[in-house]
Structure 1
């Protein structure tokens, strides 16, 4: 069963305002693709275009190689889970899970077994005869997922499914979704979130959205370790973004010459240097930066130091700090050349 999704130049507009601008993106069969971005970035609109709840102004949507742009939602073979669960309060759990099967006119004799299978898969078999009001938020979300899985969809759409849960439940549900993905290797999952931890934890690839456009796409490791844009660097993880000038053997930052991985860039051009805070050390070392401590935050396993270097704030996450530097203290930070990424450098001719 081919379950991939393909956006072919999909644009969506409301009242003359473009909310999704020429999206070209492919979700491979069996892949979890996270659409990550701030509110208003176009990620939920993209998901709704797959579901059939919005009609593109231009472009086409394909599921399993079939053009579904003009198909109604119930003919697309999708399961969908939204933030607020959308369970029917007057129906017991088993009836909620059976709802989609009945809507699809599944054979009556098959429905009980399909419901039992979905509830077992989500760990909710023991709650089949309860009403939604008798369940916790996490349990209600499991029922919503079971209802989506009962129809055996080729595509599963998840729209901010964990945002209504507290941190402990969210962590547990992430583990459950990862398990479900392993048990359903043929189902493509499109997962909309503004939470970078959810995207990094669950997705095979992340599509970074901003201002109605696709900004970047890659594996979580690639986007985190080697982001291609400042927006990706700042939205996927935490980053120091330092304005630098390209030099013959590195870059210049506030008078300091820093060694970074070689780039085909024109000396004298401007660029941005990206360094993750956890890769910045305290004390002498390569690529030393002198500055003044302006803030210290204790974060359990680390201290987050904010250090002003030539008018720029540099963040360093330091482990096992025996003595916390006082505010105003002059300190030296350092980072390894291979831990830096040069963004937006001017490319040399020839």
Structure 2
């Protein structure tokens, strides 16, 4: 397979947002946005609709001009440059292929727009089609291709210009689940083929972000709420928003009772003592409210450390697992356990537990009071996302 090394015009470059702000009609969409994407890194922007992630990507592309701040590609300040001078490749969710052009001509379109010499265009098109596994379909029209094949053509077109930066805006959202899984594998392979090209990947799908990205920037309200590797954000989130948006989580209101220098914390949940680890190695103040985060697959049935007692509210069979929802005095707790031969009955008494090292204590919102102790059954808020 033919590879390529970075941009044809520059050494490997990264992406840097330096205090970028964008407003639409006086409404802030990006607010003093700072982020660096290293050469060869896949950075996913993950967040709900309206969080600013697509605006950030379009700012790099040159389709949005910041009201303040600068955008850099490597050492180049590209804030004022038009899109065609930035050396980027971009793929959007609707493919944007020309229906009257064959695959090869769609891929060549950007090269012709850049006035690449005719003798080079054929080789560059062949290289891009080879990288995306579309060589045998060069003479087909878009209407003769599946959704996944059309997306490969869109990616090939972006790669043909040998971009210094690759921007992907929800590229898989129009595909069904099976095609999306296959394209994720293809994008991962392409990433390995392009070791110097930084990739900025916008998605609202946490599975895509965790599968493909080297790091994830979790966005809300035009700001980055958290940034780290998928493993860091999943195993040790630093905020309640991150915990709820990256993966599924039990989030339970607790009151801090004791702290230790090693990050260990004792908290109470509706009168029950819970041991956990403080997020980011912090030391919560005794008496303060906090949010206990534990992932459903780390919750087990039966007695053990950090045991909570309650009543089975719902049982969901999910093939290899059962999802058991238990109403405890501290709120509803979700446990994802290996498929049970005999699942507990709805209404039955149940115990759930989790290891102290699997529980993370997050700071409560600043305006939220500490949970009152003891609490009546179900009074303390508990959320299991997903």
Counterpart in the other structure of 2:344: 325
* CA displacement, residues 236-281 of structure 1 (integer Å, 9 cap, x when unaligned): 0000011011112600001100111365222111110100000000
Residue of 2, 7, 12 corresponding to 2:12? 2
Within a 5 Å distance, the mapping from 1:1-350 to structure 2 comes to 1-248=11-258, 250-261=266-277, 264-310=283-329, 312-344=331-363
Q: CA deviation at 1:320?
A: 2.9
CA distance in structure 2 between the partners assigned to 1:2 and 1:111 by the alignment = 23
RMSD, aligned α-carbons: 1.3
CA distance in structure 1 between the partners assigned to 2:53 and 2:277 by the alignment = 33
Q: 1:318 to 1:241 in 2, by over 3 A?
A: same
Counterpart in the other structure of 2:374: none
Unpaired segments ≥5 residues, structure 2: 1-10, 259-264, 366-386
CA distance in structure 1 between the partners assigned to 2:118 and 2:32 by the alignment = 43
CA distance in structure 1 between the partners assigned to 2:277 and 2:30 by the alignment = 36
* CA displacement, residues 292-347 of structure 1 (integer Å, 9 cap, x when unaligned): 1111111111111111111611110011312111111110000000000110169x
Say which SS state the counterpart of residue 261 (structure 1) adopts.
strand
Say which SS state the counterpart of residue 324 (structure 1) adopts.
coil
CA distance in structure 1 between the partners assigned to 2:199 and 2:25 by the alignment = 30
Q: Decide whether the 8 Å contact of 1:246 with 1:345 is kept in 2.
A: no
TM-score of the pair, normalised by structure 1: 0.97
Q: 1:43 to 1:345 in 2, by over 3 A?
A: closer
Unpaired segments ≥5 residues, structure 1: none
* CA displacement, residues 177-223 of structure 1 (integer Å, 9 cap, x when unaligned): 00000010011000000000000000000000112111110000000
Q: 1:311 to 1:287 in 2, by over 3 A?
A: closer
Q: Which runs of 4+ in 1 moved over 3 A?
A: none
CA distance in structure 2 between the partners assigned to 1:237 and 1:25 by the alignment = 23
Q: Decide whether the 8 Å contact of 1:206 with 1:218 is kept in 2.
A: yes
* CA displacement, residues 105-136 of structure 1 (integer Å, 9 cap, x when unaligned): 11111000000000010000000000000000
CA distance in structure 1 between the partners assigned to 2:172 and 2:314 by the alignment = 32
Query: In the comparison of the two structures, how many residue pairs are matched?
Result: 347
CA distance in structure 2 between the partners assigned to 1:186 and 1:27 by the alignment = 11
Q: Decide whether the 8 Å contact of 1:280 with 1:335 is kept in 2.
A: yes
CA distance in structure 1 between the partners assigned to 2:318 and 2:362 by the alignment = 29
* CA displacement, residues 152-180 of structure 1 (integer Å, 9 cap, x when unaligned): 00100000000000001000000000000
CA distance in structure 2 between the partners assigned to 1:142 and 1:338 by the alignment = 43
CA distance in structure 2 between the partners assigned to 1:189 and 1:39 by the alignment = 21
TM-score of the pair, normalised by structure 2: 0.88
Q: Decide whether the 8 Å contact of 1:265 with 1:345 is kept in 2.
A: no
Say which SS state the counterpart of residue 307 (structure 1) adopts.
strand
